[in-house]
């Protein structure tokens, strides 16, 4: 048996995922598999993690995130190599809403933010069900809580993830498999350059990662990061439509 | 464009912030967006890291470690790595940065570009003394390595070079063995500058870290606390927990003002004398006392504040310090954070490094006209004594003062990158 916790990170070049990995390797030896599209960038992150946690094992795997066969291959290859304790599905892209007026681009956005993470979750769910072990952690977003004009293509994708995670959580209730849905608010990452340009104060990727890692430890189903967003989104979700539609949230 | 401030919060002009995140593609980003200047954690107090209405290259995303050799203690990392992260990672593994400034929330690139010093200057020199090599990316796309043994002229220009010779992309640092996170520290209350100089003269042989806090309201017959510490393998047997607090809002007026100054200083003195004798202190509160209050710079209110830090040579130094303290007391300006320290004789590695043998005095002042008038008097004392002002802290020194304080400026200028310009470089060098 392998004593190190085995973690597979899908979309390892995302700033939040990278900070989660830092927290994991810094608190003890883990066996990490970083899955991403760009080998050079991922290798650079792997090198950093190896310096931070010399006792950890860090391997890199590249994949085509919108190819169902490749998604199945990643899930099979990583679980065949030994029991996976956690899969963190973290990839995504938040384009300006205007760009989604190009229908082809809109499709790509939906594929990468909604279809791809759902397929990864489904692929790992199959292996975890057989093993009756593992945590499926998926990064959703507060944007998935209610459709808004500023980012509804992205928000709808994250909404799909929420329903998918809910279904999985229902499926695995009472089993050895757990599902964690993480909902960060706007975070200080390259993806959020828009928010920064407006001078908004954003949570740091490190701060969000800390909440996520803790949420995964506790196997809570829904984790808002920072936790204050739970309250904010409770209000946003419940605003009556006639008020909501007059606001430019 | 978004508003960016430096630590003194004197301005919040819009900047075109370009994120550098890929160390292999810095040159492309610089070529596409210039002139600009690199911005790390924004901890320099004045206009060194600012370029109002222009480009800032944010290095926060360049925060990856590249290699560490536990046999030699050499760490290679990107320039945006924050010193705190190196310390927190490496001290448990028996290594630490040899030189750290009074805040650990600064980047490696910033520490090099300001050739920062710490409380152990007399023994350890400056940050630049522990850099083996660094990689510089120029705005014309040139990438070059330099170090004390390789392209030493470029190295001397870049260490302490205010970010003006190119963007520092990564560096190889020499760490040194560390016995652990605890320090054996002692606080010695004293009265009078003579007592300060006596304590400073005794200390280097026995103490690794020395610094003194002074009550700036007490004038030339100064009252202070001499703080000294040595690293130790001892431990109090309990884990240390950071009890960092934050200043949550910017108060409408400076909380440090004429009404509170005297009592704040008294309170600080009283707190400091509570624990006489030696005791074990964790390195974080000892070396970085202000990091315990996040956003403490907000205390000075919406107008922000200045820091005045100068160094005066040993001969005329004591008299100059006396004169400055008297002027400060007379003006009724000052802060709770006045620091006095003697530097060792080791010459610093950079052409524009601030550190010089002698005595350094640092104080914060809330931004108001009285402080600016006081600075002119302090400038005169510093110039008379042959001293200089620390650019990392400065937002206002006259160009002549800079030229007089940094006689090697002429040697430095040919190494400037024509695509780099900051508010400070325009103020002090004309471009």
What band does B254 get if pLDDT is binned at 50, 70 and 90? confident
Paired tokens of A36: 């991403």
The reply to whether residue B21 touches residue A196, judged by beta carbons under 8 angstroms, is: no
Dihedral, CA of residue B136, residue B142, residue B145 and residue B151, to nearest 10: -110
For residue B269, being part of any structural domain is answered with yes
Q: What pLDDT score was predicted for residue A196?
A: 64
What band does A191 get if pLDDT is binned at 50, 70 and 90? low
Phi and psi angles of residue A87, each rounded to the nearest 5 degrees, phi first: -115, 125
Mind telling me how many Å the CA of B417 is from chain A's nearest CA?
Answer: 27
* ipTM value: 0.89
B64, B108, B175, B298: which to substitute to probe chain A, counting the most A Cβ within 10 Å?
A: B64
Contacts of A235 (CB under 8 A, 6+ apart): none
A129-148 tens-digit pLDDT: 999 999 999 999 999 999 99
Tell me which CATH code domain A5-244 carries.
Answer: 3.40.50.720
Phi and psi angles of residue A141, each rounded to the nearest 5 degrees, phi first: -170, 155
A147-170 tens-digit pLDDT: 999 999 999 999 999 999 999 999
As for how many domains chain B has, the answer is 1
B273-299 tens-digit pLDDT: 887 778 899 999 889 888 888 888 998
Residue B187 has pLDDT above 70, yes or no: yes
A55, A194, A198, A199: which to substitute to probe chain B, counting the most B Cβ within 10 Å?
A: A199
Task: Tell me how far apart the alpha carbons of residues A108 and A100 are, in angstroms, rounded to a whole number.
Answer: 9
CB pairs under 8 A between A and B: 34
The reply to whether residue A47 touches residue B67, judged by beta carbons under 8 angstroms, is: yes
Taking every pair of C-alpha atoms in chain B, what is the biggest distance, in angstroms?
58
Residue A227 has pLDDT above 80, yes or no: yes
Task: Tell me how far apart the alpha carbons of residues B147 and B152 are, in angstroms, rounded to a whole number.
Answer: 6
> Which residue of chain B is at minimal alpha-carbon distance from A52?
B89
Q: What pLDDT score was predicted for residue B277?
A: 79
For residue B226, being part of any structural domain is answered with yes
Question: Which of A167, A110, A140 is closest to A233 using CA atoms?
Answer: A140
B108-165 tens-digit pLDDT: 999 999 999 999 999 999 999 999 999 999 999 999 999 999 999 999 999 999 999 9
The reply to whether residue A51 touches residue B65, judged by beta carbons under 8 angstroms, is: yes
Residue B205 has pLDDT above 90, yes or no: no
Task: Give the CA angle between residues B317, B321, B326 to the nearest 5°.
Answer: 150
For residue B19, being part of any structural domain is answered with no
Paired tokens of B45: 């107090």
Average pLDDT over residues B239-246: 81
A87-107 tens-digit pLDDT: 999 999 989 999 999 999 999
For residue B104, being part of any structural domain is answered with no
DSSP, collapsed to helix, strand or coil, labels residue B224 as strand
Rg (CA), chain B: 21
Residues of chain A neighbouring B70 (CB-CB closer than 8 A): 54
For chain B, the average pLDDT equals: 93
Enter the pTM of the model. Answer: 0.93
Mind telling me how many Å the CA of B16 is from chain A's nearest CA?
Answer: 9
Any idea how long chain B is?
431
For residue B6, being part of any structural domain is answered with no
Mind telling me how many Å the CA of A136 is from chain B's nearest CA?
Answer: 27
What band does B100 get if pLDDT is binned at 50, 70 and 90? very high
Region for B301 from its dihedrals, namely left if φ exceeds 0, alpha if ψ lies in -120 to 50, beta otherwise = left
Q: Which of B24, B61, B66 sits opposite A190 (nearest CB)?
A: B61
Contacts of B291 (CB under 8 A, 6+ apart): B84, B103, B104, B105, B244, B284
B380-415 tens-digit pLDDT: 999 999 999 999 999 999 999 999 999 999 999 999
Residue A195 has pLDDT above 70, yes or no: no
Q: Which of A45, A193, A199 sits opposite B64 (nearest CB)?
A: A45
Paired tokens of A16: 């939040």
Residues of chain A neighbouring B61 (CB-CB closer than 8 A): 15, 190
Q: Which of A26, A47, A197 sits opposite B66 (nearest CB)?
A: A47
Highest-confidence segment of A96-100, B106-110, B199-203, B234-238: B106-110
B345-349, Cβ contacts within 8 angstroms, sequence gap of 24 or more: B346/B121, B346/B122, B346/B125, B346/B129, B348/B115, B348/B125, B348/B126, B348/B128, B348/B129, B348/B159, B348/B160, B349/B115, B349/B125, B349/B126, B349/B128, B349/B129, B349/B131, B349/B148, B349/B155, B349/B156, B349/B159, B349/B160
Domains of chain A, by residue range, sit at 5-244
A19, A29, A51: which to substitute to probe chain B, counting the most B Cβ within 10 Å?
A: A51
Q: What is the CATH number of the domain that holds B198?
A: 3.40.462.10
Residues of chain B neighbouring A198 (CB-CB closer than 8 A): 2
The reply to whether residue B64 touches residue A44, judged by beta carbons under 8 angstroms, is: yes
The reply to whether residue B65 touches residue A198, judged by beta carbons under 8 angstroms, is: no
Residues of chain B neighbouring A26 (CB-CB closer than 8 A): 89
For residue B215, being part of any structural domain is answered with yes
Phi and psi angles of residue B58, each rounded to the nearest 5 degrees, phi first: -80, 120
Asked whether the bond before B392 is cis by omega within 30 degrees of 0, the reply is: no
Residues of chain B neighbouring A47 (CB-CB closer than 8 A): 64-67
Contacts of A30 (CB under 8 A, 6+ apart): A4, A5, A6, A7, A24, A53, A56, A57
> Which residue of chain B is at minimal alpha-carbon distance from A15?
B61
Residues of chain A neighbouring B66 (CB-CB closer than 8 A): 47-48, 51
The reply to whether residue A44 touches residue B65, judged by beta carbons under 8 angstroms, is: no
Task: Tell me how far apart the alpha carbons of residues A230 and B393 are, in angstroms, rounded to a whole number.
Answer: 41
Q: What pLDDT score was predicted for residue A1?
A: 43
Beta bridge partners of B19: B58
Within the 34-73 window of chain A, which residues sit less than 8 Å (CB to CB) from chain B? 40-41, 44-45, 47-48, 51-52, 54
Residue B20 has pLDDT above 50, yes or no: yes
> Which residue of chain B is at minimal alpha-carbon distance from A196?
B2
Contacts of A207 (CB under 8 A, 6+ apart): A225, A226
DSSP, collapsed to helix, strand or coil, labels residue B233 as coil
Q: What pLDDT score was predicted for residue B59?
A: 96
Full domain range(s) for residue B203: 182-239+246-396
The reply to whether residue B67 touches residue A196, judged by beta carbons under 8 angstroms, is: no
Residue with tokens 């160094």: B311
Task: Tell me how far apart the alpha carbons of residues A34 and A111 are, in angstroms, rounded to a whole number.
Answer: 21
Q: Are B66 and B77 in contact (CB under 8 A)?
A: yes
Per CB distance under 8 Å, which residues of B are interface residues toward A?
Answer: 1-3, 17, 19, 21-24, 61, 64-68, 70, 75, 89
Q: Which of A26, A45, A197 sits opposite B89 (nearest CB)?
A: A26
Task: Tell me how far apart the alpha carbons of residues B187 and B289 are, in angstroms, rounded to a whole number.
Answer: 14
């Amino acid at each position: 048996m392998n004593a190190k916790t085995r973690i597979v990170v899908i979309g390892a070049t995302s700033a939040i995922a990278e900070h989660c990995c830092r927290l994991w390797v810094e608190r003890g030896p883990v066996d990490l598999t970083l899955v991403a599209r760009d080998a050079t960038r991922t290798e650079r992150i792997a090198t950093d993690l190896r310096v931070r946690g010399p006792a950890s094992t860090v391997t890199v795997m590249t994949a085509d995130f919108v190819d169902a066969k490749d998604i199945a291959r990643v899930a099979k290859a990583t679980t065949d190599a030994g029991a996976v304790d956690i899969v963190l599905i973290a990839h995504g892209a938040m384009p300006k809403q205007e760009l989604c007026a190009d229908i082809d681009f809109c499709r790509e956005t939906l594929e990468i933010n909604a279809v791809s993470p759902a397929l990864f979750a489904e692929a790992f769910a199959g292996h975890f069900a057989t093993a009756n072990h593992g945590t499926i952690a998926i990064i959703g977003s507060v944007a998935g809580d209610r459709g808004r004009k500023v980012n509804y293509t992205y928000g709808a994708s994250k909404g799909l993830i929420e329903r998918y995670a809910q279904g999985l959580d229902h499926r695995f209730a009472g089993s050895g498999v757990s599902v964690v849905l993480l909902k960060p608010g706007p975070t200080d990452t390259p993806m959020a350059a828009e928010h920064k340009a407006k001078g908004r104060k954003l949570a740091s990727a490190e701060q969000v990662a800390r909440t996520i890692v803790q949420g995964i430890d506790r196997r809570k189903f829904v984790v808002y990061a920072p936790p204050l967003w739970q309250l904010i989104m409770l209000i946003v979700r419940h605003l009556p439509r006639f008020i909501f539609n007059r606001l430019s949230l | 464009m978004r508003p960016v401030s430096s630590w003194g919060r004197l301005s919040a002009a819009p900047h075109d912030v370009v994120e550098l995140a890929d160390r292999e593609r810095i040159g492309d980003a610089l070529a596409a967006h210039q002139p600009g200047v690199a911005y790390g954690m924004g901890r320099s107090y004045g206009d060194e890291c600012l370029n109002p209405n222009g480009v800032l290259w944010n290095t926060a995303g360049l925060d990856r470690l590249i290699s560490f050799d536990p046999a030699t203690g050499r760490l290679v990392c990107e320039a945006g790595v924050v010193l705190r992260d190196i310390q927190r990672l490496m001290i448990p593994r028996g290594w630490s940065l040899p030189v750290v400034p009074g805040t650990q929330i600064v980047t490696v690139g910033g520490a090099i570009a300001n050739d920062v010093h710490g409380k152990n200057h007399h023994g350890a020199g400056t940050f630049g003394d522990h850099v083996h090599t660094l990689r510089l990316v120029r705005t014309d796309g040139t990438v070059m390595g330099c170090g004390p043994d390789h392209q030493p002229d470029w190295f001397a220009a870049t260490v302490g070079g205010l970010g003006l010779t190119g963007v520092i992309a990564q560096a190889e640092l020499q760490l040194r063995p560390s016995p652990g996170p605890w320090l054996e520290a002692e606080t010695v209350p004293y009265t009078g500058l003579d007592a300060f100089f006596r304590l400073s003269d005794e200390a280097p042989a026995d103490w690794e870290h020395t610094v003194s806090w002074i009550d700036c309201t007490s004038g030339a017959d100064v009252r202070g606390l001499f703080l000294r510490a040595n690293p130790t393998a001892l431990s109090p047997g309990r884990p240390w927990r950071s009890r960092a607090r934050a200043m949550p809002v910017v108060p409408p007026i400076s909380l440090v003002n004429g009404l509170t100054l005297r009592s704040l200083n008294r309170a600080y003195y009283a707190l400091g004398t509570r624990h006489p004798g030696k005791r074990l202190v964790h390195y974080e509160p000892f070396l970085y006392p202000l990091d315990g209050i996040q956003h403490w710079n907000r205390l000075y209110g919406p107008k922000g504040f200045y820091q005045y830090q100068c160094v005066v040579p040993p001969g005329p130094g004591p008299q100059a310090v006396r004169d400055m303290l008297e002027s400060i007391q007379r003006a009724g300006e000052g802060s709770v954070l006045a620091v006095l320290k003697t530097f060792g004789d080791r010459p610093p590695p950079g052409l524009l490094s601030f550190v010089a043998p002698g005595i350094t005095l640092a104080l914060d002042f809330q931004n108001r006209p009285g402080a600016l008038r006081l600075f002119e008097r302090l400038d005169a004392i510093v110039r008379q004594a042959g001293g200089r002002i620390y650019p990392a802290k400065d937002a206002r020194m006259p160009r002549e003062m800079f030229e007089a304080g940094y006689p090697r400026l002429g040697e430095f200028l040919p190494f400037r990158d024509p695509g780099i310009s900051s508010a400070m470089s325009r103020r002090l060098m004309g471009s």
